[in-house]
Amino acid sequence: MIFIAVGTQKFPLDRLLRKVDELIVSGEITQPVFAQIGHSAYRPQKYDYTDFLSSDEFSERISQCDLLLTHSGVGTIITGIQNNKPTIVFPRLAKYAEHVDDHQLEIATAFAEKNLVLLCNDGDDLAELIGKAMQHNFSPYHSRRDKMISTIKDYLDSV
């Protein structure tokens, strides 16, 4: 199952949701799809969706999916990576009025450069990336959280 997560902020991602419908109609996506569509105006026609999920429901969808297709929310990306899910990031772009700037593209690019996700900033290659993601050898994710906490703690202890 492909799980699409577009987050909970008041920004749409109709472009992605519409593209997935098109790929289902054309037969390029054949597996089941479920989407959390947030504040998007577009309502999927060919796959199941809900506006929002509880934290438990979200975790369940992540654990059940074969592929995560997500906006460029850091929390969602890391959750997918930590659950060893092939992840394609489809950032919101300012030129489509999907966000106020292109910080999502910058985030997605940073993760893609580390080979942690595949980046799709143009829906034209989405079908190809879905096929590639299922075979791709992603790099392992190494959290630096403990190191950061230790550094901050050491600093606070020194002042």
pLDDT score, position 126: 97
For the stretch 25-81, pLDDT in tens is 999 999 999 999 999 999 999 999 999 999 999 999 999 999 999 999 999 999 999
Q: What is the CATH number of the domain that holds 93?
A: 3.40.50.2000
**pLDDT tens digits, 122-139:** 889 999 999 999 999 999
Cα separation, 83 vs 6, in Å, equals 18
Which pLDDT band holds residue 1 (cuts at 50, 70, 90)?
Answer: very high
Q: Which domain holds residue 116?
A: 2-158
Place of tokens 């569509």: 37
| pTM of the model as a whole | 0.89
> What is the number of other CB atoms lying within 10 angstroms of the CB of residue 11?
17
Query: Which residues, in sequence order, are CB contacts of 147 under 8 Å at separation 6+?
Result: none
Domain count, the chain: 1
What whole-number percentage of the chain has pLDDT above 70?
100
